[in-house]
C-alpha cells in the first residue's frame, strides 16, 4: 500500500467513510485539471466545495458525480472563454 492509500484509508476511517467508495484517481484528475486550468490553490478549495455540495445533496456517489460534473462543465466553459456559471 502506498502512503496515499494509507492516508486515504486513515482519513476516511476517521470521518466515518468507506475508503473503498472513494474515487481517488478521479479526485486527483480533477485537482490536476483545476490546478492547471485555474490556479494551483484552486484545486484543494474546489475539492472541498465538491465535498460540501455532495454532502448537501445526499452525500452518495451520485451526488459526488453530479458536483464533479458541474465543476468539469465550469472548467470547459472557462477554457472556451465563457467566464460565467456552468449552470
Q: What is the pLDDT along the chain (87 residues), one digit of tens a residue?
A: 799 999 999 999 999 999 888 889 999 999 999 999 999 999 999 999 999 999 999 998 899 999 999 999 999 999 998 765 554
**Structure confidence at residue 83 (pLDDT):** 60
Which three cell numbers mark 66?
453530479
Task: List the helix and strand counts (H, then E) for the chain.
Answer: 4, 0
**Structure confidence at residue 61 (pLDDT):** 87
Separation between Cα atoms, residue 87 and residue 70, nearest integer Å: 7
Q: Give this prediction's pTM.
A: 0.82
- Altogether, the residues listed in the chain come to a count of 87
Amino acid at each position: 500500500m502506498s502512503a496515499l492509500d494509507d492516508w486515504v484509508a486513515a482519513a476516511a476511517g476517521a470521518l466515518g467513510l468507506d475508503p473503498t467508495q472513494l474515487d481517488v484517481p478521479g479526485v486527483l484528475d480533477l485537482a490536476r485539471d483545476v490546478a492547471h486550468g485555474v490556479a494551483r490553490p484552486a484545486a484543494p478549495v474546489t475539492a472541498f466545495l465538491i465535498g460540501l455540495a455532495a454532502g448537501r445533496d445526499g452525500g452518495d456517489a451520485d451526488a459526488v458525480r453530479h458536483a464533479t460534473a458541474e465543476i468539469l462543465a465550469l472548467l470547459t466553459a472557462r477554457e472556451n472563454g465563457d467566464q460565467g456559471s456552468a449552470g
